[in-house]
């Protein structure tokens, strides 16, 4: 079912003749109830797939916005158990929107790999993106995840050359996440032309959908990137907006509406990119 | 917690081809860095087999660093303890005042060989930052040092030293603002400017090949000490003692002796205010295996896998992890690990200054405190060798504060 939910969503996007929008939010940010309200509002606002960050104290590939989001969540008492329970409650209401958990290995390792995979699957998680598990460490989590029918979505980067690409694509499931810049999340914005060339290169090596992220902040950028890829990922910009709105005192449904408004503009940008089915 | 594995044929055959020391080590890094890590591994393998690389390194170690460092019989300390014969390996006499430069010299020669144009490093106490800034200045490469904002406050002399050497010192204000956060920020820099940058990691941690490479560059300590002890006493030492933060001075001393079964080996972690207080840096004594900064090792962490802040009076030991080879040597029982509190280290610091005329760094003061515990009970023909891996000039402000003295 898991991989199928991601596959079905990309198939539906293709049939609709448009690219997808993937949004990233940090679990438990700024607090558990507000996070659940935001999560619940994302599909209606136009998020086609959802990445949920699992907070970690030492997120070495993330920029300031997502670092701060993780620390806000941890300060509020977020744990892996809570994250999985939040996904479970989301899934009870929405059986179609794929959920991909994104983060670092240590919280999963501490939870226990077998237990994590069973609980994630049970909660309705569809895929995993684990930043610090390259193919060289596949037996840690990637292979057990595949055996548990969870997609292991791999990151490909500008430094992943043609020689290495087959290694990266082996065991990758659901889609390929192309990191459009060398750098951390939320840093420099990618050049659409470079991304188009990179996506073309990936497409020569795989039939999987290609999503592109890192540094996409506006509806215009999302549209430009989505024009060349199967989906655009927006993360830091969403997390920054949550930080601003939370600092203004917004919580719960009011905060969720503010975030949904931004997601809707991103979705409108992406959906304006029509292409031949 | 972890079951001891059967004793291997050699303790010096690690890591395996994937960079694992038993359960520990590995390459837990973002994909952006992976091609570079593989290039580095290849470049290091080639360099090791190139006699001209070793010859160049030997030249700079002799004429620039000042090696070999002396082996010194600490006669008055020995008399004070009334037991084992205590020797110091005097790596505090190296250029820049600690063992750190042994590794920096090796890595910068490798960086040049790889055609890298820019050096970055993390630092805690500032000793590795100073050593990195030093070799970067010597070879004319721009250098950026990441240092936790908290450490910048408590190690002001080293910050100024780095700046005099032309390095840019970037304060890290994320997380706990200490060494682990400086390492996160250095990794973020590396991932951003991956093609031109060489990251000189200062300890036997990080993704493979760093733990093995740093150990190899530091093993000059143990290799020299072996020959020097044979010269001085006609035989090898009976026991070795070294302090451990990440553990590079300890691995450097221990490695050439690991396969001598008669030699007892002791590593000393920082117990801070005491293990029971939670304010310490003893990852073997109070941590459990986890994954951070590119390797699996013992980490101070909570039940949910979140990394805890370490504490030690010594900024160089103030790290919530330990090199993966130490984690393995701990599990297989080849090395015995102990812990020493801030107060015990301070007392050893003062004693060493007063009766040997050597002001040690706070890091090896932890090793010395362990020596003071062990030596009195050992026979007078027992040869105990301690790595005096750094000098204490950088620590006088910290020590003055701890003693309630205003300078």
| B156–A contact, CB cutoff 8 A | no
Residue A162 annotated to the active site: no
B190: nearest CA partner in chain A? A183
**Given an 8 Å threshold on Cβ–Cβ distance, is A155 in contact with B27?**
no
Decide if A276 is inside a domain.
Answer: no
Nearest in space to B124 (alpha carbons), one of B186, B66, B76, B211:
B186
User: B24-28 and B294-299: which strand pairing?
Assistant: antiparallel
Domain assignment present for A122: yes
Q: Is residue A277 part of a domain?
A: no
pLDDT one-digit tens code per residue, B153-188: 878 889 999 999 999 999 999 877 888 899 999 999
B294: nearest CA partner in chain A: A132
Range of the domain at A47: 4-268
pLDDT digits (tens, 9 = 90+) for B285-326: 999 999 999 999 999 999 999 999 999 999 889 899 999 999
- Quick one: closest CA in B to A74, which residue? B306
Q: Do A182 and B187 lie within an 8 Å CB cutoff?
A: no
Q: What is the pLDDT of residue A277?
A: 41
Q: Is residue A43 one of the residues assigned to a domain? A: yes
| B172: its two tokens | 């890290």
Q: Is A62 a catalytic residue?
A: yes
Assess whether pLDDT exceeds 60 at residue B2.
no
Query: Sorting pLDDT into bands at 50, 70 and 90, what band is A186?
Result: confident
Task: Quote the pTM value.
Answer: 0.96
Contacts of A182 in chain B (CB under 8 A): 32, 191-195
Cα three-residue angle B126-B193-B128, rounded to 5 degrees:
15
Q: Is B173 on the interface with A (CB under 8 A)?
A: no
- How many CB atoms within 10 Å of residue B2? 15
The tens digit of pLDDT for each residue in B224-252 reads 999 999 999 999 999 999 999 999 999 99
Task: Give residues with Cβ within 8 angstroms of B405, minimum separation 6.
Answer: none
Tell me, yes or no, whether A52 lies in a domain. yes
**Treating both helix axes as pointing N-terminal to C-terminal, what angle do B34-48 and B100-113 enclose, rounded to 10 degrees?**
100
Dig out the tokens for B197 from the structure: 């940058």
Number of domains composing chain A: 1
Residue A77 CB neighbours (<10 A): 10
Average pLDDT, chain B: 95
CB-based contact B30 A67, cutoff 8 Å = no
Mean pLDDT of A241-253: 97
Q: Is residue A153 part of a domain?
A: yes
Residue A245: CATH number of its domain: 3.20.20.70
Residue A78 lies in a domain: yes
Q: Is A67 on the interface with B (CB under 8 A)?
A: yes
């Amino acid at each position: 079912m898991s991989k199928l939910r991601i596959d079905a969503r990309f198939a539906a996007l293709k049939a609709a003749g448009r690219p997808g929008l993937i949004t990233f939010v940090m679990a438990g940010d700024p607090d558990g109830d507000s996070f659940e309200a935001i999560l619940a509002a994302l599909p209606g606002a136009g998020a086609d797939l959802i990445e949920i960050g699992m907070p970690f104290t030492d997120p070495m590939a993330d920029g300031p916005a997502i670092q701060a989001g993780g620390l806000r969540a941890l300060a509020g008492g977020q744990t892996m158990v809570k994250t999985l329970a939040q996904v479970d409650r989301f899934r009870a209401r929405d059986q179609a929107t794929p959920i991909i958990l994104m983060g670092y290995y240590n919280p999963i390792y501490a939870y226990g790999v077998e237990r994590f995979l069973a609980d994630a699957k049970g909660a309705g998680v569809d895929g995993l993106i684990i930043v610090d598990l390259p193919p060289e460490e596949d037996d840690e989590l990637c292979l057990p995840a595949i055996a548990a029918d969870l997609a292991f979505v791999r990151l490909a980067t500008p430094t992943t050359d043609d020689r290495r690409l087959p290694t990266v694509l082996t065991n990758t499931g659901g889609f390929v996440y192309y990191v459009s810049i060398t750098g951390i999340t939320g840093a420099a914005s990618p050049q659409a032309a470079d991304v188009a060339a990179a996506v073309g290169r990936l497409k020569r090596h795989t039939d999987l959908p290609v999503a592109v992220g890192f540094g996409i902040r506006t509806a215009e950028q999302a549209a430009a990137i989505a024009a060349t890829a199967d989906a655009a990922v927006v993360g830091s910009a969403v997390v920054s907006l949550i930080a601003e709105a939370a600092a203004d005192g917004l919580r719960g449904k009011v905060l969720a509406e503010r975030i949904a408004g931004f997601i809707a503009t991103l979705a409108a940008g992406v959906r304006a990119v029509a292409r031949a089915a | 917690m972890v079951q001891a594995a059967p004793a291997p044929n050699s303790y010096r055959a690690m890591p395996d081809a994937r960079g694992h020391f038993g359960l520990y080590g590995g390459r837990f890094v973002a994909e952006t860095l992976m091609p570079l890590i593989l290039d580095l591994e290849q470049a290091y393998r080639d360099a090791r087999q190139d006699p001209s690389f070793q010859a160049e390194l030997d030249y700079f170690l002799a004429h620039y660093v000042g090696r070999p460092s002396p082996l010194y019989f600490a006669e008055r300390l020995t008399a004070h303890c009334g037991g084992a014969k205590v020797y110091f390996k005097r790596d505090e006499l190296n250029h820049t005042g600690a063992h750190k430069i042994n590794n920096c010299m090796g890595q910068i020669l490798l960086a040049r060989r790889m055609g890298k144009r820019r050096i970055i490093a993390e630092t805690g106490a500032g000793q590795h930052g100073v050593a990195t800034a030093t070799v970067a200045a010597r070879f004319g490469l721009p250098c950026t040092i990441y240092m936790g904002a908290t450490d910048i406050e408590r190690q002001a002399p080293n910050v100024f030293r780095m700046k005099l050497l032309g390095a840019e010192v970037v304060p890290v204000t994320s997380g706990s603002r200490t060494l682990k956060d400086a390492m996160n920020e250095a990794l973020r820099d590396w991932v951003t400017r991956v093609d031109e940058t060489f990251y000189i990691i200062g300890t036997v941690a990080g993704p493979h090949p760093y733990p093995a490479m740093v150990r190899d560059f530091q093993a000059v300590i143990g290799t020299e000490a072996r020959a020097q002890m044979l010269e001085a006493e006609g035989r090898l030492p009976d026991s070795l003692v070294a302090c451990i933060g990440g553990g590079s001075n300890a691995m450097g001393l221990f490695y050439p002796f690991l396969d001598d079964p008669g030699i007892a080996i002791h590593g000393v972690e920082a117990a801070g205010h005491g293990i029971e207080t939670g304010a310490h840096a003893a990852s073997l004594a109070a941590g459990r295996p986890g994954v951070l900064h590119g390797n699996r090792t013992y980490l101070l962490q909570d039940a949910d896998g979140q990394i805890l802040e370490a504490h030690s009076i010594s900024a160089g030991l103030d790290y919530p992890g330990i090199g993966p080879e130490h984690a393995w040597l701990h599990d297989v029982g080849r090395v015995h690990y102990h812990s020493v509190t801030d107060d015990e280290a301070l007392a050893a610091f003062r004693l060493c200054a007063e009766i040997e005329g050597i002001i040690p760094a706070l890091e090896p003061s932890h090793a010395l405190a362990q020596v003071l515990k062990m030596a009195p009970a050992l026979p007078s023909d027992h040869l105990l060798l301690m790595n005096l891996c750094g000098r204490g000039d950088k620590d006088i402000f910290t020590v003055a504060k701890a003693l309630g003295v205003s300078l």
